[in-house]
Each structure stands twice: as C-alpha cells, then as structure tokens.
Amino acid sequence: MEPLRAVHLSKSYGGTHALKDVSLDIRPGEVHALCGENGAGKSTLIKILSGVLLPNAGTVQWNETPLPLGRVHSVEAHGILAVHQEPVVFPHLNAVDNLFVGREPAALGGAWLDQSTMRKKARAILANLGEELPLTQPVGDMSLAQRQMVSIARALLHQCRILILDEPTASLSARESESLFEKVNTLKQQGVGILYVSHRLEEIFRLADRVTVLRDGTWVATSDIASLNQEALIQHMVGRDITQKPGSGTAPDESKNRPPILEIKNLSREGVFQKISFKIQPGEILGMSGLVGAGRSEIARGIFGIDPFDAGEIIYLGSPLSKGFTIQDTIQAGMAMVPEDRQQQGLVLPLSVETNLLLPSLREFQGPLGLKTKAMRSSGKALIEKLGIKTETPDHPAHSLSGGNQQKIVIGKWVHRLPKLFILDEPTRGVDVGAKHEVHRLIRELAAQGSAVLLISSELPEILSLSHRILVLCEGTIRGELKANEATQEQLLKLALPEEARRSA
C-alpha cells in the first residue's frame, strides 16, 4: 500500500504563516513522530491532515489521488482519523454510546437504535485494542486513560488506515502511558500508519520509527530515529543547543540546623491520603512522585487550604496552622501554588498578562485615590522580563500566549510576592522543550533564593533532575523516600505501583 503524502502544505492566518511549504509522508505500519515547540505548526498540520482546516496551498495524496480537504467526514471516510489532545467524550453517556455518537447504526429505517449491534461492535473494537472497559458505566466516571481509550476506539470504528495521536500521554500517568504504548504497537503491527505528536522525547525514542521536526512553521528534518540522539533532536526543535545537566546534586543545606519551612505530621483525609509526614528545608526541592490518583495533588490542595483534611498537623514556619485555615491565610503567610489545571485554576484567560501577574498582589497597588497604575505597569514589565514571558504587550490577554508562556505567568504571579513555600503541581504539563527548560531554571532559581519547593510531577526525568529528595506515593501513603542523585526511574516506578501490580510484574 502507498504511504499518505502531504505535499507542500502552507497555511497562513492574516499575515502570519502557521505552516510554510511542509511535506511529509506516513507509511503504513510505521510510527511517525512529529516534534516541535509550541507554535511550530504541529497542530495546524494535524488539523489539515484530519480535514478540519483547508490549506492555502498544497495537497494531501493517498494512493496517488488527492484527498478532499477541509471536510472531516470525507477525510474520515478515507480512513484517516485523529484523536485530539483532550479526549472528546460525552461524560454522561456510556462507552458504547460515546463510540457511536453521530454514526449510530439504525434499525427500522432510523426509528430505532440497534443497541445489540452497537454493543457487539464496541466489544470487538475494544478486544482488538486489548482493552477491557465497563461498557455501561458513564464515561465521566472513568479514568483519563480509559477515556483516552474510548477516543481511540472511536477512531477505530472506521476502517482506520492512518491514526493521528496528538499528545496522547499528556494527562496519563507512567503506567497508563505504558498501556497506551502497547496499543500503539498493536495497531502498528496491523498495518496502521500512526502520526504521533508528543513533547516527551523518551516516548518518541521508544515508539517512533521516523521523526519529522517542525520549527516556526517550516520543515526542519525527517530522519530515522536510529540515526538521532536526544541532543540532536532537541537542537533541531529549538534551533539552539540546550544542555540539561542530569541530576541536580545535593540539597543546599545538609546541616539541618535551619528550621524547616514546612513540616507535615500525620496528615490524613478519609479515603484519599493517610498519615502523610514530611519536612521541607529552605532552599530544598522536594519531589513527589507517584501514579495519577496516588493522592499527590490532594495533599498539595490540603496544604494550600483548598480542600479540608480530617486529621494531622501542618507546621509552617515553626507554628501550626489553625483549624479551618483558608487559601487567603496561606497566601498571606507566604505560600504559593501552581495548580494542576493551568487554564481553569491558574489563569483568568481573557484578562491581560499584567492583570494575571498582579492578581494575587492587587492590594499592594491600592492607593488612597486609585490603583497605582504606573507602579503596576513597571512591576508587570519587570516580571515579564524576569520570567522571559513572550508577549507583545502586557495588555495582551493571557489566552493569546502559548502554553509555555501561560505557565510562566502562573508561576510569575507568585514570584512577585517572594513566597517562602512554592507548591508546583505538574508545572510543565503540555509545555514545549524550550519553555520547559526555562520553567526548570525558574524553579531552581526560586530554591536558590531560599524558597522551599514542593514539586509534583508525573514525568520521571523531570522529577529526577530537579529534586533534592523524592517522596514516592502510592494509594494515598508514602511508599518511600529517595535521594535524587541515587534514585533511578525504575526505582521510582516500582515504588509507585500498587502491591498487587508489583507482585504480578
């Protein structure tokens, strides 16, 4: 069979070129990775290939005939299907209904839904994927990984020849990702060509046969994965050399005579986490590793005053926090948190970059007659510069920025307050390599200035390279504590797995 060929595709919005003369081909039975920083043109390319967008120039050829572009239905009919980053599902419907929404097989001339055929087909497709899903449960009650499977299964309902996966592991834990990789390999063996978009380089090196790199809307290189190493790939993506030192060495203050910034004693919340105890010293980065659902975010939310907890004590700067403390109390006391969901919890997207940056410190700018707009402008500009936020003006709305720059705002809005404890929940999720590097630099800088950092991350290389110490959580309890410079990815993963899974492994 012929490969799918995209030939000289270009797309521009107004004056800006999102994609310039890009060609690539996807062969049947290969995993073709697509890399590039945010804004490199990956999503534009995917949208053209999946029929969402019409290019200004160029064609997509399939078996020597050009495809009708700009129409999702006709592209899907040719067997080209895309699974977008956020799984598109209807949370109140069950898996079967989700699979068939919009293309239900009808009986009695459309008057009746053929439920039994639907169920039979759904089972066949899921069995083909090697996945067992509860068919009658509302999808909203499933885990993110299971929802992702539903999305993929939905794509496979059609005779699928080319599957486009856009950041499929962005919201999956390490173990869930593993199972996704297996599914990808199964499909590959069945002759499906897969275009795989990811920011995670380890995945690309594990899965891909070939890789295409885009930068600023142009094609940079396509090569066999075997002929590349990580450094070369990153260099292709950013166009400059980023060297990342492995492991961040020893904690800044081993002597322990300084009092800890935060001390947690036996913190518990019924059914969520139990008897959590740890300390963080000034200048220390404490990593929290574990599977999604291990209770990491919930502990962070408990400390910050978002969620309540049942028992235990939080001692902050030497004195215990009073019962029923709130977010305002913890912020007043100098805590800061970068929440898991940047767009929903971290930013007010339609408001300007400056307003977002200064939102937690607004009161400081309150003069007797009015807001001190000049002071706000200069503080805003200083923060934008300090954090390297790429925005045309401080007045641009936050949603006009790329994911990486948005994340810098979420961190930056606390930097102004010089927090003593910084809680970061998945700070680089969905952020491109260049911005990730800068976020890492910021985290190290914060610690070097004496802040204590609690870092939650599902990305093992990230947590290993940034943390001084690492706590591994599993099912709401601390399974182990490791020194980062002695720990390995395998150790972290092994501790993170639940008992029964470990025994079977």
Partner 1 sequence: MKQRILNMIWQPETFLIVLIGILLTAMGRLDASFLQWEVQRALSSHVWELAIIAIPMTLIILTAGIDLSVGSVMGLSAITTGMLFQKGLPLPLACSASLLVGIFCGFLNGWFITRMKVHPLIITLATMAAYRGMAEGISHAKPVSGFPDSFTWLGQGDWFGLPVAAWVFAVMVGIVLWMMHGRAFGVGIYAIGHNETATRFSGLRVDRYLVTLYTFSGFASALAAVLFVARRNTAKADAGMGMELGVITAVVIGGVSIFGGRGTLIGACLGVLLIHETREFVSWHWNRDELNLLALGILLILSVVFQKLLRHKQGSAI
State which residue, 361 or 485, has the beta carbon closest to partner 1: 361
Identify which of residues 196 and 422 has a Cβ nearer to partner 1 in the complex.
422
Residue 118 · residue 68 · CB < 8 Å: no
* Coil/strand/helix, residue 219: strand
Half-sphere exposure at residue 264, Cβ-oriented, CA atoms within 13 angstroms: 21
- The string of DSSP letters for 389-442 reads ---S-TTSBGGGS-HHHHHHHHHHHHHTT--SEEEEESTTTT--HHHHHHHHHH
Collapsing DSSP to helix, strand or coil, 256 comes out as coil
User: Least distance from C-beta 391 to partner 1, angstroms?
Assistant: 13
Nearer to partner 1, 339 or 430 (CB): 339
Give the burial string for 102-134 (b: 16+ CB within 10 Å, else e): eebeeeeeeeeeeeeebbebbeebbeebebebe
H or E segment and range at residue 196:
strand 193-197
Whether the Cβ atoms of residue 346 and residue 410 lie closer than 8 Å to each other: yes
Instruction: Draw the binding track, 229-268, toward partner 1 (x: CB under 8 A; -: no contact).
Output: ----------------------------------------
**Distance of CA 286 to CAs 297, 470, 481, Å?**
14, 6, 10
| Shortest distance, position 89 Cβ to partner 1, whole Å | 22
Across 235-372, the runs of DSSP E, i.e. the strands, are: 262-269, 273-280, 285-290, 311-316, 319-320, 335-338
Whole-angstrom distance, CA of residue 505 vs CA of residue 243: 35
220 touches partner 1 by CB under 8 A: no
Q: By C-beta, is 169 or 330 nearer to partner 1?
A: 330
Q: Residue 1: exposed, middle, or buried by beta-carbon count in 10 A (0-12, 13-18, 19+)?
A: exposed
Phi, psi of 33 (to 5 degrees): -85, 145
Q: Which is nearer to partner 1, 205 or 365 (CB)?
A: 365
At 35, is the secondary structure helix, strand, or coil? strand
Nearer to partner 1, 410 or 474 (CB): 410
Q: What backbone torsions phi and psi does residue 436 show, to the nearest 5 degrees?
A: -60, -45
Q: What is the closest distance, in whole angstroms, from the C-beta atom of residue 454 to partner 1 in the complex?
A: 16
CA 18/CA 15 separation, integer angstroms: 10
By the 8 A CB rule, do 29 and 193 touch? yes
Residue 365 CB, nearest distance to partner 1 (Å)? 7
Rounded Cα–Cα distance for residues 91 and 102 (Å): 15
Tell me, by CB under 8 A, how many residues bind partner 1: 28
Binding mask 379-418 for partner 1 (x = CB under 8 A): ------------------x--x------------x-----
Q: How far is the CB of 56 from partner 1 (least distance, A)?
A: 17
Least distance from partner 1 to the Cβ atom of residue 338, Å: 10
Cα(341)–Cα(406) distance, integer angstroms: 12
Residue 220 CB, shortest distance to partner 1, in Å, is: 30
Find the shortest distance in angstroms from Cβ 143 to partner 1: 22
Nearer to partner 1, 326 or 488 (CB): 326
By beta-carbon proximity to partner 1, the closer residue of 456 and 471 is 456
The strands making up 65-66's β-sheet, listed across from edge to edge, are 65-66, 57-62, 4-13, 16-26, 218-224, 210-215, 31-35, 193-197, 162-166, 80-83
Q: Least distance from C-beta 242 to partner 1, angstroms?
A: 31
Least distance (Å) between residue 358 CB and partner 1: 9
The Cα–Cα gap between 488 and 251 comes to 17
Which residue lies nearer to partner 1 by CB, 212 or 451? 451
Closer by beta carbon to partner 1, 361 or else 465: 361
| Contacts of partner 1 in 8-47 (CB under 8 A) | none
Which one, 89 or 337, has the nearer CB to partner 1? 337
Distance of alpha carbon 157 from alpha carbon 124, whole angstroms? 10
Binding positions for partner 1, 325-384, rule CB under 8 A: 327-328, 331-332, 337, 339, 344-351, 355, 359-360, 362-363, 365-366, 369-371
User: 283 or 346: whose CB is closer to partner 1?
Assistant: 346
CB 315 → partner 1: shortest distance, Å? 21
Q: Give least dist CB 313 to partner 1, A.
A: 23
Tell me whether residue 113 or residue 351 sits nearer to partner 1 (CB atom): 351
Helix axes 144-156, 174-189, angle to 10 degrees: 10
From residue 266 to residue 305, the character string flagging contacts with partner 1 as x (rule: CB under 8 A) and all else as - is ----------------------------------------
- Least distance to partner 1 from the beta carbon of 406, Å? 11
**C-beta separation of 9 from 60 below 8 A:** yes
**Contact residues for partner 1 (CB under 8 A)?**
306, 327-328, 331-332, 337, 339, 344-351, 355, 359-360, 362-363, 365-366, 369-371, 397, 400, 413
